[in-house]
Amino acid sequence: MLRISPVQAMSQALAAGVMFYQYRSKTGDRKSVYETSLRLASLARDAGATFIVNDHADLAQAVDADGVHLGQDDLPIEQARKVLGPGKVIGISTHSLAQAREAEQQGADYIGFGPMFPTATKDAGVTQGLETLRIIRRSIGIPIIAIGGITHTTVTEVVRAGADGVAVISALLSAPDIQQSSEDMLRIMRKSGGHS
């Protein structure tokens, strides 16, 4: 699906005003993930944006990223905190109210929650939907980043259901113009009360 490099994609997203960027590579070897993360961390730093490495707390530390995003099968939050130190951001993917509450209790700075809608980007499990998002919003105090099948037409209802922000892959990377698509998504989110 990726027509351009992660650096090009990030550059266009940053130019549109995206201020939180997560790098996820499920196929690259650790050296290539490190090298790409190093370039992306520098780019984000220059733009004043937050840069998060997916899965690998040690790589996030090595490139001086702003933090790491963990999956349920990755390093526990407590151990990731030992690797990264107290000043870094730790997020974790959650797929239920119980996981969201546990993430907050264990010290996560934010949760990713989803999938909101069916998605072809990754096998993220059972679709959670807007009502579950509303319940989680009432149950935890940390930010929620909704993920999974979110598009320009569904982002408003996701934000109104309680998401502080959204993680979007296909809706942006498959667009003919990533920067324009990012700008459009941000404009819709801001009208809905969300963050970038």
Annotated catalytic residue within 3, 122, 134, 190: 122
Annotated catalytic residue within 24, 45, 101, 160: 24
Higher pLDDT among residues 158 and 189, named by residue: 158
Please provide the DSSP assignment of 45-82 as one string. Answer: HHHT-EEEEES-HHHHHHTT-SEEEE-TTSS-HHHHHH
Residue 24 bears catalytic tag: yes
Topology of domain 6-192, CATH: TIM Barrel (3.20.20)
pLDDT in tens, 67-95: 999 999 999 999 999 999 999 999 999 99
Residue 31 bears catalytic tag: no
Average pLDDT over residues 131-148: 96
Residue 122 bears catalytic tag: yes
pLDDT in tens, 43-69: 999 999 999 999 999 999 999 999 999
Going by the DSSP 8-state scheme, the letter that residue 92 receives in this structure is E
Check pLDDT > 50 for residue 196. Answer: no
Which sequence spans correspond to the domains of the chain?
Answer: 6-192
Strands 20-23 and 89-94: unpaired
Annotated catalytic residue within 37, 93, 181, 182: 93
φ and ψ of 167, to 5 deg: -100, 125
133 is written with which tokens? 């998002």
Residue 60 has what pLDDT? Answer: 97
* pTM of structure: 0.91
Q: Quickly state the pLDDT bin for 126 (edges 50, 70, 90).
A: confident
